[in-house]
Amino acid sequence: MSLHLSDQSPCELGFRMPAEWEPHEATWLAWPHNPTDWPGKFQAIPWLYAEIVRLLSLHERVHLLVQDEKDQSRATSVLERAHVNLENVSFHVWPTNRVWTRDSGPIFVRNHDGQVAITDWHFNAWAKYPDWQLDDKLPVQAAELLGLQSWQPKIKLENGSAHRLVLEGGSIDVNGAGTLITTEECLLSEVQQRNPGVSRAQLERALHDFLGIDQVIWLDRGIAGDDTHGHVDDITRFVGQSTIVTVVEPNASDANHKPLAENLERLKAVRTRNGKQFTLIELPMPRPVVFRGQRLPASYANFYIANGLVLVPTFHDPNDRVALGILAEAFPEREVIGIHCVDMIWGLGALHCMTQQQPADRS
């Protein structure tokens, strides 16, 4: 492993990745700027972002990335008209390729003393697109801005070369106590070419060293229409240290029925580090969301947990109220708010994909 700024790994220094429900210092977002990400629907997207920023800024600081000063001016105009608390919004002129900050942004860790640091994993646009170089800079920029220690995970391959490990924030979910959920489709498939030649054991070791993970729960694959090929934040999420929500599809003719049933069976078989069963909560799926003949990755599991609230994607579907009710029971001390995401999901991402939490520094 290759470390930055220290010869010891984050885990050796007592760092771990906190759960999303632990107190935040801020949420990181990138202002939408590329109409080709939402062809034919882009006009509505800045207003949707403005509403999300408005809600978040009531509870925590929002770091908002913009392309240039003109982009900042346009964003400010929209935010002002949406009555956003701009005193709680910090703009950064950091150009990005796309706006899915969950995957390209820094993955924060925190140690026993409450100090926060950054892990800087490689982002290669899901091994699908050639333009990722701007997005890949975000963790370094954040570390420099915040003055935080950072590590860049690398691993030595059998041929002796050093491979900088690819890991997207949407491909993992953690309980803050050393357990992580991911999918084999995303992290282990040779077809996806995220980390070719890197074994399951090597990945688990890296997750231990850099995120403080002692247990990895491997699910099979993700939902239909997922452009990332198997991101776990569309299917299964921790809502407590030993409580998991996972989406299910009872319709046997739907493409999601079999893989989600397989994932549920794996979750039933796994045990906590104390040898107990996890509490499993089944979350419904909306009816298929299709636009221009394309099945989109619509899922209620792509919710975002912030200070004092949970933002949940909704899709003008009867199951909207069911999903909101289930998550309201899971988070009784937070306000659970539905955000209409039929337009947003045309960009192949939703609320969790666009956000990245920065945990509070308790030192």
Residues with catalytic roles: 353
Backbone angles phi, psi at 225, to 5 degrees: 90, -5
Six-digit token string for 175: 């309980």
Task: Give the span between the Cα atoms of 284 and 254, in whole angstroms.
Answer: 13
Sign of the alpha-carbon dihedral angle for 214, 216, 217, 223: positive
351 and 311 Cβ atoms separated by less than 8 Å:
yes
CB 59 within 8 A of CB 308: yes
Distance CA 164, CA 195 (A): 8
8 A C-beta contact, residue 282 and residue 246:
yes
Residues 223, 247 contacting (CB under 8 angstroms): yes
Q: Which of 37, 190, 39 is nearest to 127 (CA)?
A: 190
* Residues comprising the chain, all counted: 363
Give the whole-angstrom CA distance, residue 189 versus residue 31. Answer: 32
Assigned token pair, 136: 């890949």
Comparing CA positions, the residue from 240, 311, 308 lying closest to residue 280 is 240
> At what angle are helices 69-81 and 45-57 packed, to 10 degrees?
70
